[in-house]
Structure 1
């Protein structure tokens, strides 16, 4: 049984509730346990996971958050840098499922976050578990 950390950037609480529900359901359905930590925004997710990965408490990690395009370049920075940070962790051997939604509007985010629709929170948890399986295999 694995123990996962779900790190969430809770900027849009109603959207994160859906992402979190999907991630928790996927982890529990696979027979694993989890804890959750909240950070201010998507840019802080890679750092939170990097800090948590230094110990022996967690076997894999799930990053959850929502970034919706606004009127400024900030969207590109947050979307790109949070993804880059998570990718760097995975290339260093940390099993991370990326569930940061980057959308044009809230309607797109709802479809992707809702466990009854695209369930990207559940998909991120399944990705983390798949990477953990590869770590164990290799």
Structure 2
């Protein structure tokens, strides 16, 4: 019983400590791409630690964003599965190739994808998010 309580407490603590893309501040979501920032109202998704925001957008039709990380592809892919679940997203991981993975995601409000692949410079990992309302 003590073990179960400990697991629940650790899970709750970790869920509160996850870096998240969700923004209540920032530029308005006008449907235009905003470079280097996350638009206001962006849905709560895990933000890969130390990743760089390339651009994001948002409108009544959905949200999206591009991010890059210097970490290896496998490390980024392995980060997203559990952390998406901890933030309430249902996920299905699809391996399209050795360098291209897609998490199909959904929650009560949104459905979309988190695409993780090798960036065009072959040195970084690209993370692309596309979401639309359900």
Q: TM-score surpassing 0.5?
A: no
Bin of the TM-score, shorter chain as denominator length: 0.3 to 0.5
State TM-score, norm by structure 2: 0.36
Larger Rg: 2
Q: Name the one with the larger strand percent.
A: 2
The one of the two structures with greater contact order (alpha-carbon pairs below 8 A, sep at least 6) is 1
State TM-score, norm by structure 1: 0.35
Q: Name the one with the larger helix percent.
A: 1
